[in-house]
Amino acid sequence: MKKSIISVLILVMSFASSSYAKENPNIAKDLKERYNDSTKICTGDQPAYQCSGIMIRGINQANNLAHAWSLKPENKQKESFSFAFLRHDQPFSSFPRGYDSGIIMYPQLKTPSNKNTYKVYCAFPTDGGTDGRTGHGCGIYNNDPMSDHCDKVGITTYNTWVNNFNRIMNSNDTNFVGRQCAFDMTISSRGKDFDIIRQANQYIQKTQLNITCAITNC
């Protein structure tokens, strides 16, 4: 099984074409430090992605996009697009869908004052099947009420997430990508919730279960 990557949905934004590498000659050092940062919860009970790790949006040639920040019709409709959260304690073997280029966002708490920041809507411990979900890609999938926001369906701890994961994987429909709930990153518990996501991602990888995805190209 390919190791999974934490999936994050952010608000659609406009990006300037200026080169971060030209502005910051220490980009490799900064990225390495963020990748190796093991912070569980950032200052002020904020999610780990706000001060550590690497938030990256990947694309490949098949996407037929002019730039990594260009929007697909689905992105425009949902007013959001997916990013992956990478960190040394969330190991992965390769990018999904053959990504060969992309863009990296600043952690929100480390964004320079002259740069725009962004809003995170929700996050998943693996691919969230967001194109098939309602709302900004964080809502219900295929009319399954248990695929709604996790806090709405009573999944608010790591143990309840594990129980739900096992329930799905032991059922007749093992499409965990679509049937999992979305952790809401707009509510006050988002710091704790994202730490649950990190643990959940590690659980998925440790179990080495083959998560079957019924979504095209998921």
Q: Per-residue pLDDT tens for 27-72? A: 889 999 999 999 999 999 999 999 999 998 887 766 677 777 777 7
Average pLDDT over residues 182-191: 96
Q: Say what the pLDDT of residue 3 is.
A: 55
Average pLDDT over residues 149-173: 96
For helices 158-169 and 190-207, what crossing angle results, to 10°? 40
Q: Tell me if 201 is assigned to some domain.
A: yes
Most confident listed range (26-40, 88-102, 152-166): 152-166
pLDDT at residue 89 above 50?
yes
Average pLDDT over residues 188-209: 89
Residue 64 belongs to what domain range?
A: 6-207
Q: Tell me if 217 is assigned to some domain.
A: no
Q: Tell me if 1 is assigned to some domain.
A: no
With beta carbons less than 8 A apart as the criterion, state whether 161 and 198 touch.
no
Q: Tell me if 61 is assigned to some domain.
A: yes
Q: Tell me if 32 is assigned to some domain.
A: yes
Percent of the chain's residues with pLDDT above 70: 82
Total of domains in the chain: 1
Q: Tell me if 88 is assigned to some domain.
A: yes
Q: Tell me if 68 is assigned to some domain.
A: yes
Q: Tell me if 41 is assigned to some domain.
A: yes
Sheet of 54-59, strand order: 101-105, 54-59, 80-86, 6-11, 120-124, 183-184
Q: For residue 172, what are the β-bridge partners?
A: none
